[in-house]
């Protein structure tokens, strides 16, 4: 047996992408805590607001969209920490970096899997919480749409900060300090779109803007995450 390049059947990029996605989903499925805890955190934080502010349904309906958006933000940041850390600790990240396929797509696969297990469930439960916060019916659809577009942006942007801090022994709150200011634009347009449908104007403009932001994030953020990972593993 001789080892020549021609005898080795290389995987296609798509196959490597799918393998990484499958693996991450499998790990999330096996480590249920990492998935369930951020979700529970989200539900609990949202239910604390009425207690802290006021049970008055009119006031709640005013702040509902903002409360849900900020809680989503915090929950997504919390779940983010696991994105690369265990891979870094067990050495899988090195294997990922040594893949012959562009790291961009491998990072994208990991971000996608992270969003599927942490972003999507939050989006799906949000109508229930919106009901509990007395958000007017007219805004439900917009809220879900804006969350559907906004949560992947947060995953993609947060991934950069996680990648930068993955090698740190004591990350503490540094992740929050870096990520939270970055999510201001998403928060603004997310809440503005809900506000628009509450005012009976069309939220389409904001959602389109958010879609544009998502497009930019998908094309640039994995590049930054990949660079950050190479720096951190260096």
Partner 1 sequence: MWLWFSKLGSPKWFYELSGRWLPWLIAAMTIFITVGVIWGLLYLPPDYQQGYTSRILIVHVAVAGTSLAFFPLMAVAGVITMVWRMKLADMVAKMAAPIGAWFSFLTLATGSIWGSISWGTWWEWTDARLVTMLFQLFLLLGVISLRSALEDQDKAAKACALLSIVGLINVVVIKYSVEWWNVLHQVASPVSLSADSPNGPQFWIAIAIMIVAMYLFLSVSLILATRNEILQRERRSQWVQDLVRQS
Partner 2 sequence: MSSAISESLRDEPNSQAMLSAQNLFCERDERVLFSELNFALDKGQVLQVQGSNGSGKTTLMRILCGLNDSYEGSIYWHGEKIERQTESFFASLLYIGHRAGVSKVLTPIENLRWSCSLKQQIDDEQILSALAEVGLRGFEESPCYTLSAGQQQRVSLARLLASPAQLWVLDEPFTTLDRTGVALLEKMLQTQAASGGAVLVTTHHKLDIPALNILSLG
Rounded CA gap, 91 and 105, in Å? 19
169 binds partner 2 per the rule CB under 8 A? no
Q: Would you state the structure tokens that stand for residue 207, as one six-digit string?
A: 């959602």
9 binds partner 2 per the rule CB under 8 A? yes
Q: Would you state the structure tokens that stand for residue 221, as one six-digit string?
A: 């953020």
Rounded CA gap, 177 and 191, in Å? 22
User: Closest separation between CB of residue 76 and partner 1, Å?
Assistant: 17
- Among 69, 70, 100, 136, the residue binding partner 2 under the rule CB under 8 A is 100
User: Closest separation between CB of residue 171 and partner 2, Å?
Assistant: 19
Decide if 96 contacts 103 (C-beta within 8 A).
yes
User: Closest separation between CB of residue 190 and partner 1, Å?
Assistant: 11
Rounded CA gap, 173 and 170, in Å? 9
Rounded CA gap, 54 and 50, in Å? 5
* Range in contact with partner 1 (rule: CB under 8 A) among 13-21, 78-86, 128-136, 168-176: 168-176
Decide if 72 contacts 122 (C-beta within 8 A).
yes
Rounded CA gap, 89 and 86, in Å? 5
Decide if 68 contacts 129 (C-beta within 8 A).
yes
173 binds partner 2 per the rule CB under 8 A? no
171 binds partner 1 per the rule CB under 8 A? yes
Return the number of the residue (120 or 178) whose C-beta is nearest partner 1. 178
Rounded CA gap, 71 and 75, in Å? 6
134 binds partner 2 per the rule CB under 8 A? no
* Range in contact with partner 2 (rule: CB under 8 A) among 19-27, 155-163, 180-188, 212-220: 19-27
180 binds partner 1 per the rule CB under 8 A? yes
Q: What is the radius of gyration, based on Cα positions, of the chain?
A: 19
Return the number of the residue (30 or 181) whose C-beta is nearest partner 2. 30
Cβ-in-10-Å burial (0-12, 13-18, 19+) of 169 comes to exposed
Read off the DSSP letter of residue 174. Answer: H
- Among 76, 165, 203, 214, the residue binding partner 1 under the rule CB under 8 A is 165
142 binds partner 1 per the rule CB under 8 A? no
C-alpha 56, offset from chain centre: 32
Report the interface residues with partner 1, using CB under 8 A.
160-161, 164-165, 167-168, 170-171, 174, 177-178, 180-182, 184-185, 188-189, 192, 195, 213, 220, 224, 227-228, 231-232, 234
Report the interface residues with partner 2, using CB under 8 A.
1-5, 7-11, 15-16, 19-20, 22-23, 26-27, 30-31, 86-87, 89-92, 94-101, 106, 230, 233-234
């Amino acid at each position: 047996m001789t080892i020549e390049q021609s005898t080795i059947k290389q995987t296609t990029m798509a196959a490597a992408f799918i393998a990484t996605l499958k693996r991450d989903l499998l790990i999330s499925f096996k480590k249920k805590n990492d998935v369930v805890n951020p979700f529970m955190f989200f539900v609990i934080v949202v239910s604390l607001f009425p207690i802290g502010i006021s049970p008055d349904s009119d006031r709640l309906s005013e702040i509902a969209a903002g409360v849900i958006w900020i809680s989503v933000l915090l929950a997504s940041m919390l779940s983010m920490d696991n994105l690369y850390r265990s891979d870094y600790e067990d050495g899988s990240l090195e294997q990922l970096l040594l893949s012959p396929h562009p790291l961009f797509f491998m990072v994208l696969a990991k971000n996608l899997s992270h969003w599927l297990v942490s972003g999507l469930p939050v989006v799906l439960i949000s109508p229930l919480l919106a009901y509990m916060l007395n958000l007017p019916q007219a805004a439900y659809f917009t809220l879900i749409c804006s969350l559907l577009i906004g949560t992947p942006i947060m995953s993609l942007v947060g991934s950069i900060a996680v990648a930068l801090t993955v090698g740190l022994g004591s990350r503490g709150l540094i992740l929050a300090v870096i990520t939270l200011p970055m999510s201001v634009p998403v928060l603004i347009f997310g809440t503005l779109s809900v506000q628009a449908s509450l005012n009976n104007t069309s939220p389409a403009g904001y959602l389109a803007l958010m879609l544009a932001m998502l497009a930019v994030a998908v094309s640039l953020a994995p590049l930054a995450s990949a660079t950050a990972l190479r720096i951190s593993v260096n």
